[in-house]
Amino acid sequence: MSERIPDAGLESQGIETRADLHWNLVTARLVDAAVRRGEGKLSADGPLVVETGRHTGRSAQDKFTVRDAETENTVWWGKSNKAMSPEHFAALKRDFMAALNDKEDLYIQDLFGGSQPEHRVRVRVVTELAWHNLFIRTMLVRPEARELKGFVPEYTIIDLPSFHADPEKHGTRSETVIAVNFTEKLILIGGTRYAGEMKKSVFGLLNYLLPLTGVMPMHCSANMAHDGSNTAVFFGLSGTGKTTLSADASRTLIGDDEHGWSDEAVFNFEGGCYAKMIRLSEEAEPEIFATTKRFGTVLENVVMDPVTRVLDLDDHTLAENSRGAYPIDFIPNSSPDNMGPVPNNVVMLTADAYGVLPPIAKLTPDQAMYHFLSGYTARVAGTEIGVTEPDATFSTCFGAPFMPRHPSVYGNLLKERIAKGGVDCWLVNTGWTGGKYGVGNRMPIKATRALLNAALDGSLNNATFRTDPNFGFQVPVAVKGVDAAILDPRETWADKAEYDATAAKLVDLFVENFAQFADHVDEGVRQSAPRTPATA
């Protein structure tokens, strides 16, 4: 059942096992194996449908990085990067190897993280589940047959959902563990069937490695004009529209989640997409919806009728975070090589539930670094009746859990590349207008697209701008095809005094959050901090 067995097998990595090893199986054979082993079922239209159990998302509190001579002064230790001792990792590794030796079957994929050959990393992924092997084969960059010959991995991921960590013995928080050892170039994942842990582990590797080569790693989507020019990257946290706004039929999709910005290109780290499925609309997102009817798609925690095998994308019984993994070429207007030229535009998306930020603003390089390090969005605090207060979220670099190095490393890289390339930077608010959540309304998607199109085609640069009194960035006064009333948030509020008070609160939240970075940035970035008119 093996295909493309490499010259150097697992024994070259010190892994001994009695298991049958299934190397680099193609999609159809992995689907066969997953169904035969009872790991999942085929839906009426062809995708493999699986359940991840109690872990329906990442276990951020269970991720650790080994703190040793390699990482002591290179990793930003704290909330996002928790330390594990070399001794605890050694004990964990011994028990992982013993568990591998007891398996009857193991599935192995040799893959690339990164589409640009000069900047990719060779990764070997060993899984006990066939569907996990299919998932990671779908999500990473698949080598050509000639590239598999003589493949020698730089990093290895071992994924064993059946493994249960011992907190006392292994230094973990629970039975679930994601342990990263940069010195041994080994990642161990146990106690979770959520396949996204593998994908984000490779992202973390690239975020650690690429800054040393001057490449900017980014948690963003990216697209370009159909003629292969005018690249745009879209930073944004969940719920801000990152996937929706970049999946534009009038442009070519480079990727939906993870990219690098080198001297020559914006390149996708992946060869697949990982989209939310809950309440997916055929009308609003037809290209993504079509993937739910394709063989080769993996659907996680999507409810399926046991008799008809018909999907119910609106049913959140198994998870609110139901997901679909599919090759990027399932999207008709995707880039064939997952790459585009260096960007002309950087877009930072936020869903401001306070209703304070304008629908679009132009940023200087210093302001762009400030807002990149802030990584702001605001979610609704709860869904209970009567709860109307937003909840501010600041995720550094729009992806703090995946950034091993200090945020200033990524912020300075972004600022340098923006200045070097003369890139236009925009802050786009897809959140609320006319009041905060519970009072105002969500920003009209038609207006957002019109403003975004004007920014990307360059016409917005010719608009008349005003300076926002709180944030200091430039806001257009009028844009063709957009109701001018929504361009000034204060004027959309019935109670202007309430707007001023809410804006002052948001300014304070920004300033309080940014205090942690103040000593790591230059004066221009510090001066980009917002301030209320009374304190300006």
Q: What is the mean pLDDT of the chain?
A: 94
State the pLDDT at residue 95.
98
Average pLDDT over residues 7-12: 75
Residue 360 forms beta bridges with which residues? 428
CA 266 – CA 94 distance, rounded (Å): 40
And the tokens for 17?
């096992």
Tell me the percentage of the chain whose pLDDT exceeds 70: 96
CB atoms closer than 10 angstroms to residue 438? 15
pLDDT of 248 over the 90 cut: no
Q: Which of 63, 323, 371, 417 is catalytic?
A: 323
Query: What one-character DSSP code corresponds to residue 194?
Result: -
State the pLDDT at residue 6.
64
For the ranges 1-15, 192-206, 437-451, the one whose mean pLDDT is highest: 192-206
State the pLDDT at residue 385.
40
Query: Taking the model in full, what pTM does it have?
Result: 0.92
Residue 2's SS3 state is: coil
CA 33 – CA 31 distance, rounded (Å): 5
pLDDT of 328 over the 90 cut: yes
**Which of 258-272, 325-339, 367-381 bottoms out in mean pLDDT, i.e. has the lowest?**
367-381
pLDDT of 387 over the 50 cut: no
Tell me the percentage of the chain whose pLDDT exceeds 90: 87
The verdict on whether 41 is a catalytic residue reads no
The verdict on whether 200 is a catalytic residue reads yes
pLDDT tens-digit map of 15-60 = 889 999 999 999 999 999 999 999 999 999 999 999 999 999 999 9
Burial class (CB in 10 A: 0-12, 13-18, 19+), 102: exposed
DSSP code per residue over 481-495: TS-GGGGSHHHH-S-
State the pLDDT at residue 383.
35
156 alpha carbon, distance to own chain's centre: 21
pLDDT of 426 over the 50 cut: yes
The verdict on whether 323 is a catalytic residue reads yes
Residue 327 forms beta bridges with which residues? 272
3 state SS for 349-361? EECCCCCCCCCEE
pLDDT of 61 over the 70 cut: yes
User: Which uninterrupted H or E stretch holds 92?
Assistant: helix 86-101
Query: What one-character DSSP code corresponds to residue 334?
Result: B
Average pLDDT over residues 126-144: 98
pLDDT tens-digit map of 273-312 = 999 999 998 988 889 999 999 999 999 999 999 999 999 9
State the pLDDT at residue 79.
87
pLDDT tens-digit map of 399-410 = 999 999 999 999
And the tokens for 363?
């940023």
Which amino acid belongs to residue 71? T
**What is the pLDDT confidence band of residue 174, given thresholds at 50, 70 and 90?**
very high
State the pLDDT at residue 150.
86
Average pLDDT over residues 496-523: 95
pLDDT tens-digit map of 194-226 = 999 999 999 999 999 999 999 999 999 999 999
The verdict on whether 424 is a catalytic residue reads no
H-only helix segments in 255-389? 286-290, 365-374
State the pLDDT at residue 4.
62
pLDDT of 536 over the 70 cut: no
pLDDT of 13 over the 90 cut: no
The verdict on whether 276 is a catalytic residue reads no
And the tokens for 74?
């290179």
Which amino acid belongs to residue 315? D
Question: Which residue, 278, 285, 465, is CA-closest to 362?
Answer: 465
Q: Which of 256, 257, 352, 424 is catalytic?
A: 257
CA 355 – CA 42 distance, rounded (Å): 44
pLDDT of 425 over the 60 cut: yes
The verdict on whether 58 is a catalytic residue reads yes
Q: Which of 162, 238, 250, 459 is catalytic?
A: 238
Q: Which of 55, 119, 137, 200 is catalytic?
A: 200
| Pairing mode of beta strands 424-429, 343-350 | parallel
